[in-house]
Chains A and B, each alone.
Chain A
Amino acid sequence: MKRVILTRLAWTLGILLGVSFVAFVLMRALPGDFAIAATGAQSVAPEVLEGIRRQLGLDRPLIEQYVIWLGKALTGDFGVSFVTRQPVAGTVFDRFIVTFQLALIAAIMSIVMGSITGLASARLRGATDWIVRMVNGVMLAVPNYIVATLIVLLVGLYFPQFAILGYTPFLSDPVGNIAGLLLPALALSLAVSVTVSENIRAAVLEVANQDFVMVARAKGLRRGAVLRDYLIRNALTPVVTATGLKVAALLGGSILVETIFAIPGMGQYLYESINSRDYPVIQAIILLTAAIVVLVNMLVDIAYARIDARVRL
């Protein structure tokens, strides 16, 4: 177990190192750089641009820049935002908290909606199955930013008294904070809930044909017990994987949904930072997102082993 965890950690570090390098190179391969973005025009004298670049170390060879960045990052110093002059770690963390809240609410919504519709679909079949699959198909085809736009438009049209844009910090108004995140979370959760729903449906249908379910019924167990201990517990493994990946994606933040609802989350911040070529911020956000994906994958594997004793880590 200890060895497994150590190997995993080594892997994780390797992955993060690779991701950070690729991100670093790609960012600088984009046309334009911070100096141009910050001054906003070509009319600025080249010496001014050069001055900015020299000051930020952008004039050095790419590899050297990366090594410097890496050296600091390894000590926990992710640098200072070119734009705000604030330490990156702090600002990104603040943004991440917002995205995290949003993702958490969206994840809960999708898991609840997806489980209910998926189970109903698989167990009741018939018309329920048909309707759920129809709705799932439609929701899958509609991107979340369309849903978000529709929500904003409809609420604005019919309930103009509700201010649904913006973000209320949790500490200043917990209820307002959560209430304000419900609609954006809904917009994010629909597509994810389809994944959960379709996966649960498929898994339950498959498990239902297994011999051990017949054995369970031959025991005289009640429907609820058969469903819980035999169907759901066995259907969980494939569902956990699919859901885990989707939740990881949610944690990375959604540029579009956060922008539409004017929520200062990580997705929106990434977008802003790419526009202003705020390299240290971009770098930190990408690294954090990668770390989240790796972490969620690890959690999924641990969940696997807990659900199914045949799985060895």
Chain B
Amino acid sequence: MIGIKKEIKMGREAILKSIKKNKPELLPLPDINEEAFDESIDLIETFKSNIAIVGGTVREVDKETIDAEIKEQYPNKTNIISTTNKSILGTVQVDKSTDPHNLENIDLAIIEGDLGVSENGAIWVTANSSIIRVLPFITNDLVIILEKEKIHLHMLEAYDQIAQRDRNFGVFISGPSKTADIEQCLVVGAHGAMSLTVLLV
């Protein structure tokens, strides 16, 4: 172990020394003029059409009809985890100490998104809202509930919104998992969720 530690230290110093020697003179960090990206578009409509482009389904619903909508979309699910109080369809309870491997057979996860991005249909999902980090990935199907007011124009705006968060784990999710690695044929459902439904409330 001692040997390894020494080597690591040498690596660090050697790398930093070499960078100091080889780097060019300091170049300024550009300011970002966000006005250059301004657009007067319908945020919600663009968001919806981008979700469709990335292979997801999107519905505008009332808070009262969330569960009815989910049941209609996913009629035959039995192992359901809901981490939000906006849906009472959950059949499996989890907390932070649940072994993620136990989620192998979850059919459906219902979680809340923190914000949406109009330009790409992405939704910011945090470890706090999914409780167990693997949940939105390991579940067979995924429902994300998002408040319409939380849709922003582009990623730069989105990063301003999430700047103050407690940084542990967070992910932008845009559509269901997918691959085109076999002859460029798009197949939805790779390792993550096979489908994504976004409910806008």
Do these two chains really belong together in a complex? no
Binding site for A on B (CB under 8 A): none
